[in-house]
Each structure stands twice: as structure tokens, then as C-alpha cells.
Amino acid sequence: MYRINANYGKLPGSYLFSTIAKKVAEFEKQNPDRKVIRLGIGDVTQPIAPSIISAMHTAVDEMGLAETFHGYAPDLGYSFLREAIAESDYRQRGADISPDEIFVSDGAKSDSGNIQELFSADCKIAVTDPVYPVYVDSNVMAGRCGDYDAASGKWSDLLYLPTTADNNFVPELPDRECDVIYLCLPNNPTGTTLTRDQLQKWVDFANEKGCLIIYDGAYEAYISEEDVPHTIYECNGAKNCAIEIKSFSKNAGFTGVRLGYTVVPKELKCEGVSLHDMWARRHGTKFNGAPYIIQRAGEAVYSAQGKKELKEQVAYYMENARLIREGLTGMGYDCYGGVNAPYIWMKTPDNMTSWDFFDRLLEGAGVVGTPGSGFGPSGEGYFRLTAFGQRSNTEAAIEAIRKM
């Protein structure tokens, strides 16, 4: 008789955004006349920029001709895309990353869930808290997090690094042994970030203690402040201790298109074994490459016209962020983020729990957000709103909350 991976049974409930979607569907069923505005999941609403659509059309046409048809993509990515990434995202920022250290994939979510396959089963994992749930859930599935305690909302073998208003959203360095540290900066869900000097301390710590940093830079395009690094490789020594994961979802609206990449520097070694070689081996075995059409779309993201169009799109969302932040602050709520990230992280009023506030906002204003506790125990008492909505919906949501 076969046996299942019992670690799945340890996961409480369903994936956060699936739970929210079910709750909202139920509310809509019971209130068919109510308009619901979704500012929950960080999904984009603006159409894909014209120059990127045009590149996709060209690639589609190429697929229809024998001379220009493309079959399986190279499993690590086409060199035209890897070179564009290395140039724009790294060399132009003074970070020495070469195209063959870049692994193109179908998105940052898959990579951030899959990367843990490289670690031994007994690796100790540290996460900032609150955190994007994929890092924790994927390590739970692999049996690394111990048991879940529903009362505290904590996993017994996971090291939590609280990131709250109490420490100004700057987590303390781990005070206990850990092997792998997940950092998402600018942060999902808090929308806050670290300065270059603050991040350098984490890199120095990782190099000193022999830890690996998994750095999720999915929201990098939203950085507006000068002293915030755009990649961890702006820090000295990061190539010896960090893997960086990037997405095309948030900067270019590819949530429904799927494209991402992971940087594994060649210097990164554990007891003499190259993590670059391991990830290449994994990619080769388990992944047949992102589609040609989508990689051509990705290339267009780095064209002069693509960059111009995407800058406007980011500015559109950041104006939403400003409207939400200033609107809520004006109503007396404590709000964070929304300056270097498209998320606003607010304190719930009257010490309400995050889920109680979720219900109150849905019922009272018809607005969907994301309960902070869904991101970890230190998210309790907070609530996340996304700036990825359409402008009119964002304005209507603020007005509805004001009325509520």
C-alpha cells in the first residue's frame, strides 16, 4: 500500500488566497446586489503594455512558420532574455551577474516554492514574520517546520523574525542557529523595506555564520527611495551567500502570462558543492523552459519603449498606493508601506483581529483585503490592501471605508 506525504496534513486550512476567494464568493452569493471591490490578492489590473503585446504577436507569428518555429526552449532560458536581464537588472546597477547565472522560469512563485529542494531535510529555516506564505508552506510540505500550534499560529521548528511597527519593520538578526533565511524586499506583505546598509548587515551575518539567504525581489520595480537596494548583489559578499528570485508579474503585469527568473551565483558553494550546478540539474530534469513567446515578451520588458511604458504603469499603481495610504491615514488609521511597494499595511482599529476586520470591511464597505494573520503570527492585528486595483475602484474603496 502506498503512503502519502503526511506533511501535507499538517498544513492548516487552504492556501491563504484560496481561503479569501472562497469567503468572497460566499458573500457575493448571499449579497448579489452588493458591489465588491477586490484589494486582496496582489494581482495586477492594467493591460500588458503595447510594446510587449507587439513582441508577443511577432513571436506568435514566428511560431506559425517552419523557418522561425521554436520547439522546446533551452531549459535555463533563451540567451536573448538572460542577456537583457543581466544587463538591465544587474550590470547597470553595478552588480556583477552574468547571463549564465540567471535561470529563467515560469514565475517567482514556483521558484520560491521549489528552491527548498536544494536544502537538506534538517536545515533550519528562518522567515521574517509576517511573510509571503509560500516560503513556509513549501518547507512544511518538505517536513522542515515541525508541528503547527494553532493557539500561537507558529511552527515548532521555524525561526520567526518579527517585523512589526514595534521594530519599525526592521527585523533583528537571528539570535538562534538557522541555516536558510528568506527575505522579501520590498516586503510582501508589509510594503516596507531595508536600506542598503541594513541589508549589508544580513549579508555579512550570512557569510559569517554560513547561512544562505533566499532573496525575493518581486517588488523591486516599486522602489522609489535612493538608499534602497534594487538587488541583494549591490551588497558586498552577496554572491557568496544569496540566491535572488525575481518576477515579471508585478513590474510588467505578467500574472496571467507567467515569467520569472532566479539568480544562483557560481560562487555560491556549500561544502564545495555548487548550488548553481544543483539548480541547473533540477531545472534540466524538472522544467522544459518558459515558452518562447513569453520569453520574447520578457525581452521587450527591457527595450527602451518597454521600460518607458512600464514606468508609467508602476506610477499608476503607486498613485493608487498614495491614495490608499493618505486616505486611510486621514481617517486616523496607522498605515505603513506604499512608498517602495504596492502594498499598504494598516493596523486594525480597536484591537480587532485581522479576520474580524476582514469581515467588517467586506460587510461594511464591500472591500476585500488580506488579513495580516494569514501571513504569520506577527501579522495579527494588521491588514493588507493592494494598490494593484483600477483607479476608480481604489477611489471607490477608500470612499466606502470612509463612509463605513
- ∠ CA 43-394-167, nearest 5°, is 75
Scanning 145-260, the segments in alpha helix (DSSP H) are 196-209, 249-252
Nearest residue (CB) to ligand MLT, 132 versus 357: 132
The region that residue 355 occupies, defined by phi over 0 for left and psi between -120 and 50 for alpha, beta otherwise, is alpha
Question: In angstroms, what CA-CA distances link 328 with 40, 164, 361, 384, 401?
Answer: 16, 18, 13, 12, 8
Distance (Å, whole) CA 347 – CA 314: 25
Q: Tell me how far, at minimum, the Cβ of 17 lies from ligand MLT, in Å.
A: 6
CA distance 112 to 105: 11
H or E segment and range at residue 271: none
Nearer to ligand MLT, 211 or 290 (CB): 290
175 touches 167 (CB < 8 A):
no
Looking only at residues 132 through 151 of this chain, which bind ligand MLT when binding is defined by CB under 6 A? 132
Distances (CA, A) of 238 to 52, 162, 267: 32, 23, 10
Q: Which is nearer to ligand MLT, 83 or 111 (CB)?
A: 111
Closest approach of Cβ 41 to ligand MLT, in Å? 4
Q: Between residues 20 and 178, which has the closer beta carbon with respect to ligand MLT?
A: 20
What count of other Cβ atoms lies within 10 Å of the Cβ of residue 303? Answer: 16
Site map (CB under 6 A) of ligand MLT, residues 219-258, x = contact: ----------------------------------------
Confirm if 391 and 320 have CB atoms less than 8 A apart. yes
Between residues 39 and 86, which has the closer beta carbon with respect to ligand MLT? 39
| Minimum CB–partner distance for residue 135 and ligand MLT (Å) | 11
Q: Which residues from 290-349 bind ligand MLT, rule CB under 6 A?
A: none
Residue nearest to ligand MLT (CB): 42
Our finding on whether 190 is near ligand MLT (CB under 6 A) is no
Give the residue, chosen from 128, 139, 188, 378, that forms a contact with ligand MLT under the rule CB under 6 A. Answer: 188
DSSP letter assigned to residue 211: -
CB of 36 to ligand MLT, least distance (A): 17
- How many binding residues for ligand MLT (CB under 6 A)? 6
Considering only residues 22 to 81 of the shown chain, the ones binding ligand MLT according to CB under 6 A are 41-43
Q: Which is nearer to ligand MLT, 109 or 239 (CB)?
A: 109
| All residues at 6 or more sequence positions from 19 whose CB lies less than 8 Å from its CB, including other chains | 13, 374
Please report, as residue ranges, which positions from 372 to 401 form the binding site for ligand MLT (by CB under 6 A): none
CB 183 within 8 A of CB 213: yes
Write out the binding residues for ligand MLT, residues 104-123 only, by CB under 6 A.
Answer: 109
d(CA 336, CA 326): 10
Contact pattern for ligand MLT over residues 153 through 182, marking x by CB under 6 A: ------------------------------
Q: Provide the binding-site residues for ligand MLT, judged by CB under 6 A.
A: 41-43, 109, 132, 188
